[in-house]
């Protein structure tokens, strides 16, 4: 039976169709859900909060979207063990909604960054990266202005103790290479329960050779098991 994926859409979201295409390519049933809806579709296996500029990124990225009607049901879904994936702006929204720890800040160089980026897999004890190997180098695009992940010292210690750091930015050899100033080059994390995930890179833009990488397929496929 095909997995069912709900993809949120806010004013300013611009990656919902890319995300839908990626999951349809993997054989999933998908439904785009408008931000003013109060309820997610029935019997879904995954909620994706995709990239873009929700509400124009006014105030802080994700700061307004966290109050959208649909987000309460997303929180309920996550608290009941449902899988939630936030990509780029989606990661920012999940942090603002306190479904993931930390905060997102302006890139260290204050510029928008758009490029292919190497990533180092740090933890595979989760559905999202279960198809990969610890230490493996993969590649996916990044495109953000507020991608600098920050967390205080105690929070960082907790992330490490609980193996919640799932991806770090690196170069082609695996040496850490930080494009935006994120603390300890963190590119992606999960919650303690390992059912809510956030990352700044775009796996949905790394699913065909013509796009420069197919590593996104192996990442998203983890949710299909």
> In this predicted model, what pLDDT tens digit does every residue of 80-113 receive, in sequence order?
999 999 999 999 999 999 999 999 999 999 999 9
The CB-side HSE value for 56 (13 A sphere, CA atoms) comes to 2
190 is catalytic: no
Q: What are the tokens at 24?
A: 């349809």
pTM, two decimals, is 0.96
Q: Does domain 4-224 have CATH number 3.40.50.880?
A: yes
202 is catalytic: yes
43-57 mean pLDDT = 95
d(CA 10, CA 70): 10
What digits encode the pLDDT tens for the residues 4-33?
999 999 999 999 999 999 999 999 999 999
Structure-token match 């996550």, residue found: 78
Q: Catalytic residue, from 88, 122, 144, 170: name it.
A: 88
Mean pLDDT of the chain: 97
The structural domains of the chain, with segments of one domain joined by +, span 4-224
29 is catalytic: no
String of DSSP letters for 89-145: HHHHHHHHTTSS-SEEE--TTSS-EEEEEEEEE---SSSTTTTS-TT-EEEEEEEES
């Amino acid at each position: 039976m095909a997995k069912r994926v709900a993809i949120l859409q806010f004013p300013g979201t611009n990656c919902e169709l890319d995300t839908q295409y990626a999951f349809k390519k993997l054989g999933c049933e998908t439904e785009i859900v408008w931000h003013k809806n109060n309820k997610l579709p029935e019997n879904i296996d995954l909620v994706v909060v995709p990239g873009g500029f929700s509400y124009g990124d006014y105030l802080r990225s994700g700061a307004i979207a966290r109050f959208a009607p649909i987000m309460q049901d997303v929180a309920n879904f996550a608290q009941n063990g449902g899988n939630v994936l936030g990509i780029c702006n989606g990661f920012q929204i999940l942090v603002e909604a306190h479904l993931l720890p930390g905060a997102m800040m302006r890139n260290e160089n204050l510029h928008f960054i758009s490029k292919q980026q190497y990533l180092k897999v740090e933890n595979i004890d989760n559905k999202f990266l279960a198809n990969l190997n610890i230490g493996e180098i993969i590649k996916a695009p990044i495109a953000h202005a507020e991608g600098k992940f920050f967390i205080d010292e105690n929070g960082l210690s907790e992330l490490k103790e609980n193996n919640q750091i799932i991806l770090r930015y690196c170069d082609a050899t695996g040496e850490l290479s930080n494009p935006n100033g994120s603390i300890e080059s963190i590119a992606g994390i999960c919650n303690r329960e390992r059912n809510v995930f956030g990352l700044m890179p775009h796996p949905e833009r790394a699913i065909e050779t013509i796009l420069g990488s197919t590593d996104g397929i192996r990442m998203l496929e983890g949710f299909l098991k």
